Structure 1
Amino acid sequence: MLGLSLGLASAGVLILFIQRGITFDTFHRDNDRIYFVQTADAEDRYNQTVYPILGQMVKTYPEIETGTHVQGWNNVWLNYKGKDLQKNTKYVDSTFFDVFSFKLKYGNAATALKRKQSIVLDEKVAEALFGERNPVGENVVVEDSLSFTVTGVLEPVPANSSIQFEVLLPVSNLEGNPDFASGADWYNTFASVYLKLRKGADPGKLEAKFPAFAKTHFTAEGQKRQIRIAPLEDYVHYENPNFRWMIYGAVTIALFIVLIISINMVNLNTAMSFTRAKEVAVRKVTGSTLRQILAQFWTESALVLMASLAIAIVFGVLYLVPQFNEFREGRMQLVVNWQQDSATFLTLIGIIGIITFVAGTVPAAYLNRLDLRDTLKGKLSGKPASRNWTQGTLIVVQLVIAVILVVGAIAVRWQIDYMRRADTGFRGENIVVVSSDLQYKDRNAATAQFVPILNGLKQNSRIESVATSSIVPTRYWSNYNIYTPEGTEPKDVRLRHVGTSTGYARTYGIRMIEGRDFSEDLDGKGEHHPVVINEAARKAFGWTSAVGKRLRQGNNSDVYTVVGVMKDFHYGPLKERIEPLLHWYDGPPGLRSYLTLKFADIKQAREVLSDLERDMKKIPSKRPFQYFYMQEELSKQYNDLDGIWKMVNFVTLLAIVIAFAGIFGLISLAASKRTKEIGIRKVLGANVRGIAVLLSRDFVILLVIALLIGLPLAYSFVIKYLASFEYHVHLPWYVFGLVALGALALTIATVGFQGIKAALADPVKSLRSE
Structure 2
Amino acid sequence: MFKNYLKIAWRNLVKNKGYTLINVGGLALGMAVTLIIGLWIQDELTYNSYFQNKTKIAQVFQSQTFNNETGTGPAIPRPLEKALREGYGDNFKHLVMVTWTGDRYLKYKETNLSRTGNCAQRETPELLDLQIIKGEKDGLREINSIMLSESTAKALFGDEEPIGKTVQVSNQYDLMVTSVYKDIPVNNSFNDTDYLIPWEQYLATTEWVRNAEDSWGNNSFQMFVQMADNANMDRTSESIRNVKKDLNEDTAEFNPQIFLFPMEEWYLRGNFENGKQTGGRIKYVWLFGFIGAFVLLLACINFMNLSTARSEKRSKEVGIRKSIGSQRGQLIYQFLSESFLVVLFAFFIALVIVLLSLNGFNELARKEIAFPWSNPVFWGISLFFVLFTALLAGSYPALYLSSFKPVDVLKGTFKTGRYAGLPRKILVVLQFTVSVAFIIGTVIVMEQINHAKNRPVGYDKEGLIQIPTFSQDFSGKYDLMRTEFLSSNAVVEMSSSSSPTTRIWSNRGGFTWEGKPEGFQEDLAWTEVSPEYAKSLNLKIVEGRDFSREFATDSLGVLINETAKKYLGMQNPVGKFLKDDDEEDPGPPLKIIGVVQDMITQSPYEPVKQGVYVYDRFNNSSYYNLRLNPEKSSSENIAVVERVFKEHFPDIPFEYDFIDEEYGEKFASEERIGSLSGIFTALAILISCLGLFGLTSFVAEQRTKEIGVRKVLGASVFNVWNMLSKDFLKLVTISCFIAIPISYYIMNGWLQDYPYRVILEWWIFLLAVVGAMGVTVLTVSFQAIKAAKANPVKSLRTE
Classify 1:149/1:239 alpha carbon distance in 2 versus 1 (closer, same or farther; 3 Å): farther
Q: Which of 450, 454, 457 is the matching residue for 1:421?
A: 454
- In the TM superposition, residue 345 of structure 1 has moved relative to its aligned partner by 5.3
The amino acid that maps onto 1:126 is A
Classify 1:664/1:727 alpha carbon distance in 2 versus 1 (closer, same or farther; 3 Å): same
The amino acid that maps onto 1:325 is N
The amino acid that maps onto 2:266 is Y
Q: Which of 505, 512, 524 is the matching residue for 1:485?
A: 512
Q: Which of 101, 118, 141 is the matching residue for 2:167?
A: 141
Q: Which residue of 2 aligns with 1:372?
A: 406
For 1:522 and 1:98, how far apart are their aligned partners in 2? 55
The amino acid that maps onto 1:327 is L
For 2:241 and 2:100, how far apart are their aligned partners in 1? 27
| TM-score, with length taken from structure 2 | 0.85
CA contact (8 A) 1:8 1:348 kept: no
- In the TM superposition, residue 655 of structure 1 has moved relative to its aligned partner by 0.9
For 1:553 and 1:239, how far apart are their aligned partners in 2? 33
**Residue range with higher mean Cα deviation, 400-409 or 22-31:** 22-31
Q: Which residue of 1 aligns with 2:351?
A: 313
Matched, 1:29 2:52: yes
Q: Which residue of 1 aligns with 2:25?
A: 2
Q: Which residue of 2 aligns with 1:540?
A: 567
Classify 1:661/1:76 alpha carbon distance in 2 versus 1 (closer, same or farther; 3 Å): same
SS of structure 2 residue aligned to 1:59:
helix
Q: How does 1:458-537 map to 2 (within 5 A)?
A: 465-473=493-501, 475-486=502-513, 489=518, 491-523=520-552, 526=555, 529-537=556-564
Classify 1:519/1:193 alpha carbon distance in 2 versus 1 (closer, same or farther; 3 Å): same
The amino acid that maps onto 1:537 is A
Q: Which residue of 1 aligns with 2:616?
A: 586
Matched, 1:334 2:376: no
Matched-pair identity in %: 26
Q: Which residue of 2 aligns with 1:352?
A: 386
For 2:771 and 2:420, how far apart are their aligned partners in 1? 24
Classify 1:155/1:283 alpha carbon distance in 2 versus 1 (closer, same or farther; 3 Å): farther
Q: Which residue of 1 aligns with 2:153?
A: 126
Matched, 1:412 2:412: no
For 2:701 and 2:282, how far apart are their aligned partners in 1? 48
CA contact (8 A) 2:108 2:168 kept: no
CA contact (8 A) 2:101 2:116 kept: no
Q: Which residue of 1 aligns with 2:251?
A: 221
In the TM superposition, what whole-angstrom CA distance separates every residue of 1:685-728 from its partner, at most 9, and x where no partner exists? 44433333222221111011011112233333343344433333
SS of structure 1 residue aligned to 2:398:
helix
- In the TM superposition, residue 8 of structure 1 has moved relative to its aligned partner by 1.9
The amino acid that maps onto 1:364 is A
SS of structure 2 residue aligned to 1:298:
helix
Q: Which of 663, 667, 675 is the matching residue for 1:638?
A: 667
Matched, 1:435 2:467: yes
In the TM superposition, what whole-angstrom CA distance separates every residue of 1:65-107 from its partner, at most 9, and x where no partner exists? 3222332354333344543333221223332244333434455
The amino acid that maps onto 1:278 is K
Q: Which of 776, 779, 785 is the matching residue for 1:756?
A: 785
CA contact (8 A) 2:485 2:641 kept: no
For 2:645 and 2:111, how far apart are their aligned partners in 1? 22
In the TM superposition, what whole-angstrom CA distance separates every residue of 1:295-319 from its partner, at most 9, and x where no partner exists? 2222222222222222222322332
For 1:401 and 1:382, how far apart are their aligned partners in 2? 28
- In the TM superposition, residue 50 of structure 1 has moved relative to its aligned partner by 2.1
The amino acid that maps onto 2:624 is Y
Classify 1:266/1:724 alpha carbon distance in 2 versus 1 (closer, same or farther; 3 Å): same
CA contact (8 A) 2:318 2:406 kept: no
Q: Which residue of 1 aligns with 2:216?
A: 186
CA root-mean-square deviation = 3.4
CA contact (8 A) 2:59 2:262 kept: yes
Structure 1 unpaired stretches of 5+: none
Classify 1:193/1:392 alpha carbon distance in 2 versus 1 (closer, same or farther; 3 Å): same
SS of structure 1 residue aligned to 2:503:
coil
SS of structure 1 residue aligned to 2:119:
strand
Matched, 1:452 2:483: yes
CA contact (8 A) 1:24 1:162 kept: no
SS of structure 1 residue aligned to 2:758:
coil
- In the TM superposition, residue 657 of structure 1 has moved relative to its aligned partner by 0.5
Q: How does 1:145-294 map to 2 (within 5 A)?
A: 145-157=173-185, 159-161=187-189, 164-179=192-207, 180-183=209-212, 185-210=215-240, 213-215=243-245, 217-218=247-248, 220-221=250-251, 224=254, 225-236=256-267, 237-238=269-270, 242-294=280-332
CA contact (8 A) 2:242 2:258 kept: no
Structure 2 unpaired stretches of 5+: 1-23, 273-278
Matched, 1:72 2:105: no
In the TM superposition, what whole-angstrom CA distance separates every residue of 1:392-450 from its partner, at most 9, and x where no partner exists? 11111111111122122222333333333332233345x4324263x668445965852
For 1:766 and 1:543, how far apart are their aligned partners in 2? 86
Classify 1:285/1:75 alpha carbon distance in 2 versus 1 (closer, same or farther; 3 Å): same
The amino acid that maps onto 2:641 is L
For 1:553 and 1:264, how far apart are their aligned partners in 2? 71
Matched, 1:57 2:97: no
Q: Which of 776, 781, 794 is the matching residue for 1:747?
A: 776
- In the TM superposition, residue 37 of structure 1 has moved relative to its aligned partner by 0.7
CA contact (8 A) 2:136 2:178 kept: no
Q: Which residue of 2 aligns with 1:670?
A: 699
CA contact (8 A) 1:186 1:222 kept: no
The amino acid that maps onto 1:10 is V
CA contact (8 A) 1:119 1:152 kept: no
Q: Which of 670, 686, 695 is the matching residue for 2:724?
A: 695
SS of structure 2 residue aligned to 1:520:
coil
In the TM superposition, what whole-angstrom CA distance separates every residue of 1:240-285 from its partner, at most 9, and x where no partner exists? 9642322232223222222222222222232234322222222223
CA contact (8 A) 2:465 2:627 kept: yes
For 1:345 and 1:121, how far apart are their aligned partners in 2? 37
Q: Which of 338, 349, 360 is the matching residue for 1:300?
A: 338
Classify 1:154/1:65 alpha carbon distance in 2 versus 1 (closer, same or farther; 3 Å): same
Tell me the matched-pair count: 754
Classify 1:166/1:337 alpha carbon distance in 2 versus 1 (closer, same or farther; 3 Å): farther
- In the TM superposition, residue 373 of structure 1 has moved relative to its aligned partner by 1.9
**Residue range with higher mean Cα deviation, 462-471 or 364-373:** 462-471
For 2:779 and 2:399, how far apart are their aligned partners in 1? 30
SS of structure 2 residue aligned to 1:39:
strand
Q: Which residue of 1 aligns with 2:42?
A: 19
Q: Which residue of 2 aligns with 1:48?
A: 75
- In the TM superposition, residue 336 of structure 1 has moved relative to its aligned partner by 3.6
Matched, 1:393 2:426: yes
**Residue range with higher mean Cα deviation, 408-417 or 651-660:** 408-417
- In the TM superposition, residue 347 of structure 1 has moved relative to its aligned partner by 4.5
Classify 1:152/1:425 alpha carbon distance in 2 versus 1 (closer, same or farther; 3 Å): closer
- In the TM superposition, residue 217 of structure 1 has moved relative to its aligned partner by 4.4
CA contact (8 A) 2:184 2:193 kept: no
- In the TM superposition, residue 215 of structure 1 has moved relative to its aligned partner by 4.7
For 2:64 and 2:622, how far apart are their aligned partners in 1? 32
Q: Which residue of 1 aligns with 2:360?
A: 323
CA contact (8 A) 2:528 2:621 kept: no
**Residue range with higher mean Cα deviation, 720-729 or 242-251:** 720-729
